[in-house]
Amino acid sequence: MIIEEEEKKEEKDERFSTDLCECYLLLNSIFSNKLRSICVHCLLKAALKKEENEEVQTEVEMALLTLSEMGYCEVPKELYLNELKEIIEHQQKHRNLTKLAYQSAWQFLINRFCTNKFLEDTIANELHFGREAARELEELTRNVDWKRKEVERGKETKEEFALIRWLRMFYVYFYRCKLKNEEITILIGGIVQVDRAAKENNEEISNQCIYSLMNAAGNRGVRVEDLLKGGAVDVVLESMQRPTLNKVMTNECCHFFMSVSYRLEEEDEYEKEEEERKELNRKVFEKMEEEGYEDTITSFYETLEFLRRNYNHFFLKKVSDYFVNV
C-alpha cells in the first residue's frame, strides 16, 4: 500500500501515506531499503509543516516520534540531514514544536550518529546540542510537579516522559561524541539540576541522571573540569548518601569515580602542565574528602579495576549499605 501510494502520479493522499508509514515503522524492527527511504521522506515532509494550529502540531509530533523510534539502522544522510537541520534550526528561532516533537527530532539525529561519525561536528557545533538540551532540561524540570501526592506518582506526566527520553538519549551522545565542546559544561549542569529536583521525588529520573553522568565521565571529549564545573562530582557524592541507594546505583556511582580517576591519570600524562594537574587533582579530592569518601573510593579502587577487567557490573548486596552508612 505504501509503494502504491508513492507511485501514484496524481491525487496522492499525503495524510494517508503518512499514516501508513507511521504504522510500518512502528510495527517493524527490520526495514527494506526501499520502504525505509519512502517512509523517511514522507514523514520528514510531514514534520516540516510550519502551521501552529493544534492539528498540524499533533501530526508533526507523531511523524517525528515515529522517526525517533527507528532505532540505530543506517539511513543515507541525503534522505534526512538537510530536513532535520531545518526543523531544529526553525525550532531554535520560533519555538513552535511541542517538547516531545523537538526531543524526537534530536533523537532521530543522535541515533544516526551511531553509523555516521561525520555528524559529530553538525550536532555539537552547528546545531548546539549541549546548549539546546540543557535549555530543554531546564524548562521541563521547571514544569514538572515534583511534589505530587504519592498516589499520583505512578502516573507519568508528559514532562516526565520527555525528561526520561532526553536522559536516555545522552547515553548514546556521551558514548559516541568525542569532540571537545564548551557547551558540555552547560549540559552537565543541566543534568545535575534535574537530579537535584528529582532525587527526593522521582527515583527513576534521578537514576537516569546518574547513568548519564557516569557515561560522561568516561568520555574523552568531556573534560574533568567540565564535570567539576557542572557539579557532577558533587551530585554523585550526594547520591551515594541516599538511604534508598541500591547495588546497581552503587555500581554506577563508583564507576563514575573510577572513570574520573583514570581520566586524571590520562590528563596527568598527556594534557596538563604540572601545576594545572596538581590543582585539578586537589579540587576533585577535596570534593570527595568533604563528604568523607576519599578513603572509601580509594579502598575500592582495586575492586573497581577487577570489575572493569572482568565486565562484572554488580557489587555484592551489602556494599550499598556500607556506602550509605560510611
In the chain, domain spans: 1-127
Contacts of 158 (CB under 8 A, 6+ apart): 99, 100
Nearest of 84, 122, 126, 86 to residue 106 by alpha carbon: 84
Asked if 102 and 62 touch (Cβ cutoff 8 Å), the reply is no
What is the residue-level pLDDT of the chain in tens, covering all 326 positions? Answer: 999 998 887 888 899 999 999 999 999 888 889 999 999 999 999 999 999 899 999 999 999 999 999 988 889 999 999 999 999 999 999 999 999 999 999 999 999 988 888 899 999 999 999 999 999 999 999 999 888 755 465 677 889 999 999 999 998 899 888 888 889 999 999 999 999 999 888 888 999 999 999 999 989 889 888 999 999 989 998 887 777 777 778 778 878 887 887 777 765 444 556 667 667 767 776 766 665 555 555 555 555 555 555 544 444 444 445 444 44
The confidence score (pLDDT) of residue 101 equals: 96
- 10 Å Cβ neighbour count for 299? 9
Q: Which three cell numbers stand for residue 88?
A: 531544529
Structure confidence at residue 118 (pLDDT): 86
Q: Name residue, grid cell 585539578.
A: 280
pLDDT of residue 311: 44
Written as nine digits, the cell of 61 is: 509530533
Residue 266 has a pLDDT of: 66
- In the numeric block, which cell numbers belong to residue 45? 515532509
